[in-house]
Structure 1
């Protein structure tokens, strides 16, 4: 297996699977994530594929501030993902709460619940920036595999 190990890491880096979670956002970031994962920007050029189940995903994409209703679901989704896994926080909300900070229904930042590997800043970020963050996440995934 040691001979195949570099090949497996390269394959994992070249074909990451994504699972997206809206943790309570205004949908601005979700629209941009949708645009970034469509044929125009083509994440499949680096093997990226959107999955419908966290059990098959390598990269978790989180948008929006973490609300009380989504907090436990997000932790459960993260636990369902196989290791190694990478978390990408898209937009300002998962990082800081943005304009929703101080709301009684918004919890602390995402990193207080699960480890965040890549931040994509912006409100909302451009699809090109989201793809750049996903490529960075794929590289981190290959390194975690080592």
Structure 2
């Protein structure tokens, strides 16, 4: 699993370069290893209306869904100010909307990796970041 995590972090760092963040100047990249074995990436894309902004995590998951994937094994997230070097990066935890959005596709086994680099990261079970979540099972 550690090799997968390092690959996902590197892909998130790479896609972060495509972030469009002229308002916050905070670039985020995310990569998802889906249950289908494929990796899907996304960057944050801001909008002047603010409400039209999409975070990197949701961007990656919509990429996965558009390709037919519906279940997340691991998601890696990296972020920080555009001009920060890798040694100054923040821990870019998913926002509340992203946590709720990802809950639709996460399981008890889903791992969330919040990283500064491929050698400095934290791992969480998804339900640690969104305990007692409302999701599809509540509607059965």
Q: Same fold (TM over 0.5)?
A: no
Taking structure 1 as the reference length, the TM-score comes to 0.33
Q: Which has the larger radius of gyration?
A: 1
| Greater RCO (Cα-Cα under 8 Å, separation 6 or more) | 1
Q: Could you say which structure has the higher helix fraction?
A: 1
Q: Normalising to structure 2: TM-score of the pair?
A: 0.33
Tell me which protein shows more strand as a share of its residues: 2
